[in-house]
Amino acid sequence: MVTVSTSKAYHHGDLRTALVEAGLRHLEAGGETDISLRQLAREVGVSATAVYRHFPDKKALLAALAESGIARLGEAQRIASEHAGGGPAGFAATGRAYVHFALDNPALFRLTFTHAGHAGSPTNSSDEPSRLLRSYSEQFGGENAERLTLQAWAVAHGLAMLMLDGRLPPDDALINRVIDTKSLFPAQPSGSNNDASP
Amino acid sequence: MVTVSTSKAYHHGDLRTALVEAGLRHLEAGGETDISLRQLAREVGVSATAVYRHFPDKKALLAALAESGIARLGEAQRIASEHAGGGPAGFAATGRAYVHFALDNPALFRLTFTHAGHAGSPTNSSDEPSRLLRSYSEQFGGENAERLTLQAWAVAHGLAMLMLDGRLPPDDALINRVIDTKSLFPAQPSGSNNDASP
DNA sequence: TCTTAATGTTTCTGCTGTAAACATAGAGGC
DNA sequence: GCCTCTATGTTTACAGCAGAAACATTAAGA
């Protein structure tokens, strides 16, 4: 698919976007170490240092890639959540989507969470993944909402990372066993029965 | 502390060990990106390419560092486990030790789990951390031993990673809230009461 | 003592990120 | 219609990197 150059074009057209796209391509193909500013410039057909008109340094380019990663992850989770029809099942679905996204976009996922930059816990972040997690936890966590937030995130993130790093097999069945509604909501043993909507 | 050169010394004494030690020092100080073979060689007082007599390439040097990381992690967990007197409390202690180790040795921890190399799930790995995890899970997991293994590991690993990457504050209280005996063993709701020895 | 294998050095190639000086082209004011 | 300004891109240069190849040294054993 050829990117039709927008009318707003100086020399190249939209170098910044082209560089980000090339970067994402390289992330998929060979991981973060496969990204070289000079190589990206070459592919886009521009001199090596032209990159610096759009990104102060390499870190900035990587940060731009990470940002696009967060957006995509949020989108995937939202779809999974809706597809599961919301509720506790929807919550678990966002967790599984989290892991699946990591497996489908290993380098992008890693980059997104390693070169955080903006950082911030989900309690105050405004990105889609944080919003979903917060919303579901508050809905179903009752008085343990915060702990649920943390544990749910940690389980999903840990599982994703361990699979990415080859410590656990990237097995769908395994994901379903670890992230399932029942084990996330073990019938609240000691009192505190929450009366959330169906 | 000066490393007294062993009698078995050729030109340098023990270049390999010296390089690994220098590498660990750099990991603590500046992270993985701070490790340059040339710089290490310089510090050890040897030519840049002498390194290649002991490590085929940079990856191999990093793998050696990672191996030492696993050993240290296992040691820390074993101590924590014993200090807690074993049992479910000991289990939780190994999890907290896992996270603390990550926070105390961020670069080493990251390297250890990122450049896995030998890979392998804890079900068949022989390193100390895997052994502890397997042993405790089988002791207290009952019929859900495998799921317990996975979830416990995922929670600890996820929490560690999120804290390392600045997504969660590296807060002791937070660790205790996420990894506590009660929430790991929620009174086994649906039957299957295990009668493990004290 | 002589040979040999292990260890270390010099030199070289091609890559990287990035700084500085220079070039160009499109936009807006005259 | 011309001129200047600014955003964008280029050339050239530097220092650092991983790694390959050829050569040197040194300890250990025959």
Closest CA to B68 of B9, B111, B8: B111
Length of chain B: 198
* Minimal CA separation from B189 to chain A, in Å: 7
C-alpha to C-alpha distance for B176 and B6, rounded to whole angstroms: 44
Q: Chain A partners of B120 at a C-beta cutoff of 8 Å?
A: 166-167
C-alpha to C-alpha distance for A78 and A84, rounded to whole angstroms: 10
Q: Could you report the per-residue pLDDT of B64-100, keeping only the tens digit for each?
A: 899 889 999 999 999 999 999 999 999 999 999 999 9
Q: Could you report the per-residue pLDDT of A120-162, keeping only the tens digit for each?
A: 666 667 899 999 999 999 999 888 899 999 999 999 999 999 9
* Distance from residue B190's CA to nucleotide C5's C1', rounded to whole Å: 67
Q: Is some CB atom of chain A closer than 8 A to the CB atom of B45?
A: no
Query: Nucleotides of chain D within 7 Å of a protein C-beta?
Result: 7-13, 16-22, 26-28
Q: Which of A105-119, A159-173, B113-127 has the lowest average pLDDT? A: B113-127
pLDDT of residue A185: 66
Nearest nucleotide to A13 (CA to C1') is D8
B78 or A192, greater pLDDT: B78
Q: How many A-B residue pairs are in contact by the CB < 8 A criterion?
A: 104
What is the mean pLDDT of the segment spanning B6-14? 50
Chain A interface mutation, best of B147, B155, B164, highest count of A Cβ atoms under 10 Å? B155
Contact criterion met (CB below 8 Å) for B9 and B3: no
Q: A172 falls in which pLDDT band (50, 70, 90)?
A: very high
Percent of chain B with pLDDT over 70: 81
Q: Which residue of A has its CA nearest to B164?
A: A114
DSSP character for B119? -
What is the mean pLDDT of the segment spanning B16-39? 90
Among A121, A154, A160, the residue with its CB nearest the CB of B169 is: A121
C-alpha to C-alpha distance for B147 and B190, rounded to whole angstroms: 15
Q: Is the pLDDT score of B198 beyond 70?
A: no
Burial class (CB in 10 A: 0-12, 13-18, 19+), B176: exposed
Q: Is some CB atom of chain B closer than 8 A to the CB atom of A143?
A: no
Q: Could you report the per-residue pLDDT of B137-194, keeping only the tens digit for each?
A: 999 878 889 999 999 999 999 999 999 998 999 999 999 999 988 776 655 443 333 3
C-alpha to C-alpha distance for A27 and A23, rounded to whole angstroms: 6
- Count of CB atoms within 10 A of residue B30's CB? 11
C-alpha to C-alpha distance for B123 and B132, rounded to whole angstroms: 11
Q: Is some CB atom of chain B closer than 8 A to the CB atom of A63?
A: no
Q: Which residue of B has its CA nearest to A179?
A: B151
Considering only residues 42-101 of chain A, list those whose CB is below 7 Å from strand C.
48-49, 51-52, 57-59
Q: Is the pLDDT score of A31 beyond 80?
A: yes
What is the mean pLDDT of the segment spanning A107-125? 76
Q: Is the pLDDT score of A91 beyond 90?
A: yes
pLDDT of residue B120: 61
Q: What is the mean pLDDT of chain B?
A: 83
Q: Is the C-alpha dihedral spanning B178, B137, A172, B116 positive or negative? A: positive
Q: What is the DSSP string of B60-103?
A: HHHHHHHHHHHHHHHHHHHHHHHHTTSHHHHHHHHHHHHHHHHH
Q: Is the pLDDT score of A173 beyond 90?
A: yes
Q: Is the pLDDT score of A184 beyond 60?
A: yes
For the ranges A9-23, A177-191, B98-112, the one whose mean pLDDT is highest: B98-112
- Count of CB atoms within 10 A of residue B105's CB? 20
What is the mean pLDDT of the segment spanning A41-66? 94
Q: Do A178 and B119 touch (CB under 8 A)?
A: no
pLDDT of residue B97: 98
pLDDT of residue B33: 86
* Minimal CA separation from A4 to chain B, in Å: 38
Q: What is the mean pLDDT of chain A?
A: 85
B194 or B31, greater pLDDT: B31
Using a cut of 0.95, tell me whether the model's pTM lies above it. Answer: no
Q: A72 falls in which pLDDT band (50, 70, 90)?
A: very high
- Count of CB atoms within 10 A of residue B128's CB? 17
Which residues in A81-109 are b (16+ Cβ under 10 Å) and which e? beebeebbebbbbbbbbbbbbbbebbbbb
